[in-house]
Amino acid sequence: MAKKKCNKVKTHSFRLGTYHIEIWDSHLLGLCDHPDSYYKLRIAFPNDNTLESLKTIIHECCHAEGIKDEVVDTGMGERIATLLWRLGWRKEGDE
C-alpha cells in the first residue's frame, strides 16, 4: 500500500479532531482512525478520480464527523457522492 502526502491539504479538522490526510496510490479502501487512537489521527483516501473514490472520501469523512457505521453504511456516502458526480464534481485538473 504505497501512500503519499497530499500536497494541498496536510490536515483537516473534523468534529472528532484534526486528522492527517493520506492519499493512497492503490485501489484500497479508505481509512479513518478512531479518536481514541494512541497515534495521530489519520484519514486516508484512494488517489483516483472515480465515482468510487468520491464515495470512499465522503464515507470516511462522515466517520471523522462522528457518524457511526450503522448510519453511513445505509448508503449515505454513495447518495451524496452520486449527486456531486452528476453535478460534475471531479478532482482539480482532471476532466
Q: How big is the CA angle at 81 (ends 23 and 76), to the nearest 5 degrees?
A: 105
Query: What is d(CA 64, CA 34) in angstroms, rounded to the nearest whole number?
Result: 8
Q: What global pTM score does this model have?
A: 0.84
pLDDT at residue 82 tops 60: yes
Q: Each residue of 30-72: pLDDT tens digit?
A: 889 988 866 789 999 888 889 999 999 999 999 999 998 888 8
Query: What is d(CA 67, CA 93) in angstroms, rounded to the nearest whole number?
Result: 31
pLDDT at residue 1 tops 60: no
Q: Where are the domains of the chain?
A: 3-86
